[in-house]
């Protein structure tokens, strides 16, 4: 008799990113293990009904805001002992004004389980990421890693366990939360224990194609793959998927 299939849920959708590209990448990596079976949806609609059938959750979203009820369902599901791999802009909800970009509120239970809420980022540029626990299986052997990406600057919940950080200080004038002049380590990957379960949040992973800024802009001039073609980032994503699906060799 074979092993029981592990059933995962991928939530991938929103604004300002190439979700088709990322969705295919993630599903391709997950399909390497034929015992993993995936359900895919673009937002949190019906999440309370889907979660009882899921062993694990992966999310890559932007400006996809759960309701209070949906956020409570996510919180309770993780608290009951499940794992959630959150990627890039899962903690982001935005209002694009004529002069400024503002971070919108999210349900507190959603921020508590994720461990953070996006506030701002400087322009996309290369920066160096350093492991804080170099022997941890999720980051071991990666060492210092240079990525070209959006550096997420977030409101952080106490108790998160950073695995990768960078140093950056300055201002982000395009955003309402613009003053980041304190010289602090900025977590770009961390674990957040929540009851008997855990969230692994990897804030890296920006991707954008020509048509992903509509209706704000008809045609974005470049195809931006961020760190998705960089070997070090690919290692981080693969290990995150192994971890969340509890595949062979995972932490």
Q: Is the pLDDT of residue 7 over 50?
A: yes
For residue 135, what pLDDT band results from cuts at 50, 70 and 90? very high
Whether residue 58 lies inside any domain: the answer is yes
Neighbouring-strand partners of residue 167 = 185
pLDDT attached to residue 213: 85
Whether residue 1 lies inside any domain: the answer is no
Write out pLDDT tens, residues 98-131: 889 999 999 999 999 999 999 999 999 999 999 9
- Give the tokens for residue 127: 């920066």
pLDDT attached to residue 220: 87
Write out pLDDT tens, residues 218-238: 998 999 999 999 999 999 999
Q: Is the pLDDT of residue 2 over 60?
A: no
Whether residue 189 lies inside any domain: the answer is yes
Whether residue 181 lies inside any domain: the answer is yes
Number of separate domains in the chain:
1
The count of other CB atoms within 10 Å of the CB of residue 90 is 26
Q: Is the pLDDT of residue 18 over 50?
A: yes
Q: What is the CATH number of the domain that holds 16?
A: 3.40.50.880
pTM: 0.96
Q: Is the pLDDT of residue 165 over 80?
A: yes
Whether residue 35 lies inside any domain: the answer is yes
- Give the tokens for residue 157: 């919940």
Which residue from 179, 146, 158, 49 is spatially nearest to 111, judged by alpha carbons?
Answer: 158
Look at the chain and count its residues: 251
pLDDT attached to residue 183: 84
Question: Which residues form the domain of 51?
Answer: 6-245
Whether residue 228 lies inside any domain: the answer is yes
pLDDT attached to residue 1: 40
Any residues with CB less than 8 A from the CB of 165 and at least 6 apart, and which?
129, 130, 132, 185, 186, 187, 188
Which residue from 115, 116, 126, 19 is spatially nearest to 62, judged by alpha carbons?
Answer: 19
Question: What percent of the chain has a predicted confidence (pLDDT) above 90?
Answer: 90
Write out pLDDT tens, residues 176-214: 999 999 888 999 999 999 999 999 999 999 999 998 889
Secondary structure string (H, E, C) spanning the chain: CCCCCEEEEEEEEECCCCHHHHHHHHHHHHCCCCCEEEEEECCCCCHHHHHHHCCEEEEEEECCCCCHHHHHHHHHHHHCCCEEEEEHHHHCCEEECCCCEEECCCCHHHHHHHCEEEEECCCCEEEEEEECCCCCCCCCCCCCEEEEECCCEEEECCCCEEEEEEEEEEECCCECCCEEEEEEEEEEEEEEEECCEEEEEECCCCCECCCCCCCCCCCCCCCECCCCCCHHHHHHHHHHHHHHHCCCCCC
For residue 248, what pLDDT band results from cuts at 50, 70 and 90? low
Q: Is the pLDDT of residue 249 over 60?
A: no
Question: What percent of the chain has a predicted confidence (pLDDT) above 70?
Answer: 98
Whether residue 250 lies inside any domain: the answer is no
Whether residue 84 lies inside any domain: the answer is yes
């Amino acid at each position: 008799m074979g092993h029981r299939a592990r059933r995962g849920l991928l939530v991938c959708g929103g604004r300002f990113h190439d979700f088709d590209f990322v969705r295919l990448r993630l599903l391709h990596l997950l399909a390497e293990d034929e015992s993993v079976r995936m359900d895919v949806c673009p937002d949190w609609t019906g999440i309370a009904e889907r979660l009882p059938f899921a062993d694990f959750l992966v999310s890559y979203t932007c400006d996809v805001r759960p309701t209070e009820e949906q956020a409570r369902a996510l919180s309770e599901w993780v608290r009951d002992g499940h794992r959630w791999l959150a990627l890039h802009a899962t903690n982001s909800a935005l209002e694009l004004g004529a002069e400024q970009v503002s971070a919108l509120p999210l349900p507190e239970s959603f921020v508590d389980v994720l461990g953070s809420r996006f506030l701002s980022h400087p322009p996309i540029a290369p920066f160096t990421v350093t492991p804080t626990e170099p022997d941890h299986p999720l980051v071991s052997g990666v060492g210092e890693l240079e990525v070209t990406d959006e550096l997420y600057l977030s409101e952080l919940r106490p108790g998160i366990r950073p695995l990768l950080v960078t140093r950056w200080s300055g201002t982000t004038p395009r955003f309402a939360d613009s003053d980041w002049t304190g010289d602090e380590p900025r977590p770009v990957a961390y674990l957040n224990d929540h009851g008997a379960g855990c969230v692994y949040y990897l804030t890296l992973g920006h991707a954008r194609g020509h048509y992903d800024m509509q209706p704000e802009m008809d045609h974005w001039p470049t195809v931006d793959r961020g760190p998705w073609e960089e070997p070090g980032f690919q290692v981080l994503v693969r290990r995150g998927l192994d971890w969340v699906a509890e595949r062979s060799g995972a932490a």
